[in-house]
């Protein structure tokens, strides 16, 4: 399963992020199913550096009322197969921090807490991992499109208004989740604490680039990101070669998603700092609902010379 609720912080943790956490943090925390009708224990798996399989959460069982159980039961007797995936509604993406709650009951300052301190799936949950919000939007687009999501330092917006596709010859506003295809055959650059990825869209004939500041990342975070990056780009390359041999266009692509407070640092460069605010995925062609709220509107003025 892709996510679990970390009891100590009362936040959703994405399974792919386990490799970026140190062993001590994982061992000191308890993880449970985020469905408030379940709350069964979750076991972190495949998060060691020696593991080849992607990290994830294992559930030995779910309660009969859990949405995972209900999905599995509804798929019985049909050709449709249902895996034990459950994508929580994320209503707040929190600023990543090195500080962790020491112990005990979850903090009571997020919008998803109830009087009983148990998670409430209807009101949404908080997470510092962009991956969790992406999972929810991609899997439940029709449900999510008009539900709200709050990004750090910005008022809440609908999911539709939050996710902004990067296109040619545009400048962008902060307070959005940006996404774009990336160039799979461009060499990955890592210079002076920055990783550079080349995006497919261009500005004035020059391709946009994403600068990822890794200077404050732990080795676990760097290794986790490099593994995700190399896996996605290699899959994209193999798919491209296969489609080209069959005289077909690619149908799957490597995508980058990221959150940046100051998205454009120059005409052709985006910059992001937090590991938790970057997600690289290999996906079928995306067709998310149209949004242009993240694009800067250019006001053109026309001067008129009056005859004297």
Asked if the model's pLDDT at residue 134 lies above 60, the reply is yes
C-alpha distance from residue 290 to each of 90, 145, 164, 175 (Å):
20, 10, 8, 17
- 92 pLDDT band (50/70/90 cuts)? very high
Q: Which residue has the higher pLDDT, 133 or 191?
A: 133
Tell me, what's the pLDDT at 50? 84
The pLDDT value recorded for residue 51 is 85
* Mean pLDDT value of segment 205-218: 94
The DSSP call for residue 295 is B
Query: Distance between alpha carbon 45 and the CA centroid of its chain, in Å?
Result: 20
pLDDT beyond 80 at 158 = yes
Work out the burial of residue 216: count CB atoms within 10 Å of its CB; fewer than 13 is exposed, 13-18 middle, 19 or more buried.
exposed
Least Cα distance to 195 among 180, 219, 214 occurs for 214
Residue 82 pLDDT greater than 50, yes or no = no
pLDDT, greater one: 157 or 307: 157
The C-alpha atoms of residue 161 and residue 31 are separated, in whole angstroms, by 31
Determine the average pLDDT of the residues in 3-13. 93
Give the residue, 84 or 274, on which the prediction is more confident.
274
| Full set of structural domains in the chain with CATH | 3-144 (no CATH), 164-284 (2.40.50)
pLDDT at position 187: 74
Give 301's pLDDT tier (boundaries 50, 70, 90).
low
Contact between 126 and 111 (Cβ < 8 Å):
yes
Tell me what the mean pLDDT of segment 94-103 comes to.
64
Are the C-beta atoms of 218 and 233 separated by less than 8 Å?
Answer: no
Task: Give the burial class of 96: count Cβ atoms within 10 A of its Cβ; 0-12 exposed, 13-18 middle, 19 or more buried.
Answer: middle
- pTM metric for this prediction: 0.85
Cβ count near 178 (within 10 Å)? 23
What are the residues whose beta carbons fall under 8 Å from the beta carbon of 116, sequence distance 6 or more?
none
- Average pLDDT for 145-159: 96
CB 30 within 8 A of CB 234: no
DSSP labels for 161-214? Answer: HHEEE--TT--B-SSSEEEEEB-TTSPPEEETTEEEEEEEEEETTEEEEEEEE-
**CA dist., res. 279 & res. 147, Å (int):** 21
* 235-280 pLDDT tens trace: 999 999 999 999 999 999 999 999 987 766 677 899 999 999 999 9
Predicted confidence (pLDDT) at residue 98 exceeds the cutoff of 80: no
Average pLDDT over residues 12-17: 92
* Confidence category of residue 141, pLDDT binned at 50, 70, 90: very high
Task: Tell which wins on pLDDT, 108 or 58.
Answer: 58
Average pLDDT over residues 88-115: 59
d(CA 180, CA 276): 17
Burial 252-279 (b: 16+ CB within 10 A, else e): ebbbbbbbbbebbeeebebbbbbbbbbb
The answer to whether 68 touches 62, Cβ cutoff 8 Å, is yes
Q: Give the tens place of pLDDT for each residue, 28-39.
A: 999 999 988 899
State yes or no: pLDDT of 57 exceeds 80: yes
Q: Is the pLDDT of residue 106 over 80?
A: no
- Between residues 302 and 137, the one the model is more confident about: 137
Nearest to 6, CA basis, from 138, 94, 122, 136: 94
Average pLDDT over residues 56-77: 84
d(CA 28, CA 140) in angstroms, rounded, equals 32
Q: How confident is the model at residue 149 (pLDDT cuts 50, 70, 90)?
A: very high
CB neighbour list of residue 119: distance below 8 Å, 6 or more residues apart: 5, 10, 34, 36, 39, 112, 125
């Amino acid at each position: 399963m892709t996510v679990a609720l970390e009891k100590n912080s009362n936040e959703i943790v994405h399974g792919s992020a386990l490799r970026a956490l140190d062993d001590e943090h994982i061992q000191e925390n308890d993880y449970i199913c985020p469905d408030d009708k379940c709350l069964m224990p979750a076991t972190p798996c495949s998060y060691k550096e020696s593991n080849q399989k992607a990290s994830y959460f294992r559930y030995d069982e779910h309660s009969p009322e859990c949405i995972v159980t209900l999905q599995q039961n509804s798929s019985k007797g049909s050709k449709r197969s249902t895996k034990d995936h459950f994508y929580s509604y994320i209503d707040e993406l929190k600023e990543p921090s090195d500080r962790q709650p020491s112990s005990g009951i979850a903090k009571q300052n997020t919008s998803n807490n109830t009087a009983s301190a148990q998670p409430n799936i209807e009101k949404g949950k908080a997470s510092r991992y962009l991956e969790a919000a992406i999972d929810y939007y991609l899997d439940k687009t029709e449900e999510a499109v008009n539900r709200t999501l709050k990004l750090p330092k910005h008022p809440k917006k609908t999911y539709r208004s939050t996710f902004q596709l990067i296109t040619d010859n545009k400048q962008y506003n902060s307070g959005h989740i940006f996404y774009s295809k990336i160039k799979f055959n461009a060499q990955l650059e890592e210079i002076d604490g920055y990783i550079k990825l080349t995006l497919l869209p261009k500005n004035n004939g020059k391709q946009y680039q994403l600068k990822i500041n890794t200077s404050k990342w732990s080795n676990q975070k760097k290794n986790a990101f490099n593994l995700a990056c190399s896996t996605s780009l290699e899959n994209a390359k193999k798919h491209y070669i296969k489609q080209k041999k069959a005289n077909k266009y690619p149908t799957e692509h490597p995508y980058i998603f990221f959150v940046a407070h100051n998205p454009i640092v120059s005409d052709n460069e985006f910059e992001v700092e937090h590991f938790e605010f970057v997600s690289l995925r290999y996906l079928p062609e995306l067709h998310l609902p149209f949004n242009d709220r993240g694009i800067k509107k250019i006001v053109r003025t026309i001067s008129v010379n009056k005859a004297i």
